[in-house]
Amino acid sequence: MMMVPALLSAALLLLLPGTLTEQSESISIDVVVENSLLGTAPVTFSTRVVYRGILLGALKRLMDSNANFKFTYTEDPNYGPYLESVNGVAGSNKDRTYWELLVRTPYGKIIRPDVGIGCYIPGANEQIILKFTKW
């Protein structure tokens, strides 16, 4: 008798991944590219991210839809993906430069997420700030 509930539970788990990937709801976010070292004006791009989707997916979607936005990332085996370059500008250990991930909430507060582009889940109407700076 215990076998039937276990089989039903297993069947439900098999259906769950398809249900999540079919989620068509998405939210709008802005991606602001800022180079604090050159003092140039920030450039803002608009894109969408699927509900509860990660920032990396939104950045890839933006790059595929807008020729003016390009980025590269490196996959670290311990910490996951991290931003390497944006629009041809790459961080450098020699120059002590990197791309910092910041988020401006809809209420105007700027936060530094404790996760990177591979784990951060953007919220509606957030501004994702990719800031080139020194450490």
- First vs last C-alpha separation in the chain: 62
- Identify the structural domains of the chain with CATH numbers, from first to last: 26-134 (2.170.130.30)
| Edge-to-edge order in the sheet of strand 43-50 | 43-50, 26-35, 127-134, 97-104, 110-111
Contact status, residue 100 vs residue 112, Cβ threshold 8 Å: yes
Tokens 């910041």 label which residue? 102
3 φ, ψ (degrees, to nearest 5): -70, -40
By three-state DSSP, how is residue 42 classified?
Answer: coil
Residues 6+ apart with CB under 8 A from 68: 43, 45, 87
Contact status, residue 120 vs residue 54, Cβ threshold 8 Å: yes
- pLDDT of 38-65, one tens digit each? 988 999 999 999 999 999 999 999 999 9
What average pLDDT does the segment 28-34 reach?
Answer: 96
- pLDDT of 92-107, one tens digit each? 999 999 999 999 999 9
